[in-house]
Amino acid sequence: MNVPHHLIDNPDERPVVLLVDDAPGSLGVLCETLESAGYTVLVACDGDTALRRLSLVTPDVILMDAMMPGISGFDTCRRIKADLATKHIPVIFMTGLSDTSHVLEGFACGGVDYVVKPVRAPEVLARLHTHVGNARMARFALDAIDVSGLGVIMLNDQGRISWCSPCARRLLTQFDIDPDALTVPQSWWQSNSGMELVAVVSDAAGPGLLVRNMGPAGRDEIMLLIEIGVSGNPVLPPGRLASAALTPRETEVLSWLAKGKTNRDIGEILTMSPRTVSKHLEHIFEKLGVETRSAAAAMASAQESAEARLGTPRWPH
């Protein structure tokens, strides 16, 4: 079978799909097709089982049957979207109900897409490819911002915290602000323009906490960026890239990795074999103290972003 959309060339980064259906045996061909296309497939037979699975593992995407005994797929999706730990996971409904009211309910409860049963594998693969790619790029961007020393806070349209990055939690705690309080001052988010400095939380012992409203970011959400500094002069924390002592070749490999290139692409660009690229990456990961491609790429992208903000390079190009 010729299966489109092979997503990755690194088996350690296989996207994970949680397949939720009360008759998973009827979807055996779909499971085989997904695995052949580079996905790891987990199965749950009902909504309760799916929620228990999500307490143990975070998949990249969920394929959800809309109508199941017990908790319906729609209600299961509502519970997933109500949990800060899982609300970011895209949910695609599988349904035999194609009338408008059920399609609208699927979107209203937080679904991003739907396919009509009996499902057609090529269509499912195309939709998975799009939504997994979008979700990964969004997480990659947030990781890059976080590594740069900028904290990210996502708010709903009522000013309540829907997601808070690890860096943001550290910075809020440092300035005696409870990151679990769920709300932030109204002045931080009620703004008509993006990228606006909306608050400076002062610290007598040193620089303050800068709060910047980046405006709308996704459906009914607002992004805040927070960092240490004084107005107009953010303070960049020391980066690991500056002290990693990468060789010129390793720096080139990392730069292309940060641009989203695969080992095969990097090898063709730099005229080396994919195996040689892999060896360079092993050395880069060890020097940077990271374990995955995503972490290394995020670190490189974040450093370049920070350099652009400050106008002073911190690592060799």
Question: What fold, for 241-310?
Answer: Arc Repressor Mutant, subunit A (1.10.10)
β-bridge partners, 155? 161, 222
Domain boundaries, given as residue ranges, for the chain: 11-138, 149-234, 241-310
pLDDT at 276: 92
The CATH homologous superfamily for domain 149-234 is PAS domain (3.30.450.20)
Closest CA to 277 of 291, 287, 260, 265: 265
pLDDT at 259: 79
Please give the share of the chain, as a percent, with pLDDT higher than 90: 15
CATH code: domain 11-138 is: 3.40.50.2300
Which one-letter DSSP state was computed for residue 292? Answer: S
Give the residue ranges of the chain where pLDDT is below 50. 1-12, 234-238, 306-317
Alpha-helix runs per DSSP H in the chain = 28-36, 47-54, 73-82, 100-108, 121-147, 166-174, 186-189, 248-258, 263-270, 274-288, 293-310
Q: What is the pLDDT of residues 285-308, one digit of tens each?
A: 888 777 777 767 766 765 655 444
CA 127 to chain centre: 17
Distances (CA, A) of 86 to 20, 39, 71, 81, 155: 15, 19, 17, 6, 16
Which one-letter DSSP state was computed for residue 259? Answer: T
Taking the C-alpha atoms of residue 118 and residue 61, their distance in angstroms, rounded to an integer, is: 20
Mean pLDDT score across all residues of the chain: 77
Taking the C-alpha atoms of residue 170 and residue 91, their distance in angstroms, rounded to an integer, is: 30
Tokens of 18: 């949680």
* Residue 109, amino acid: C
Tell me how many degrees the CA angle 270-272-273 measures, rounded to the nearest 5.
140
CA 153 to chain centre: 14
Q: What is the pLDDT of residues 197-243, one digit of tens each?
A: 777 787 655 678 888 887 776 666 788 888 877 655 544 444 555 55
Tokens of 303: 């450093």
- Check if the beta carbon of residue 247 is closer than 8 Å to that of residue 270: no
pLDDT at 195: 61
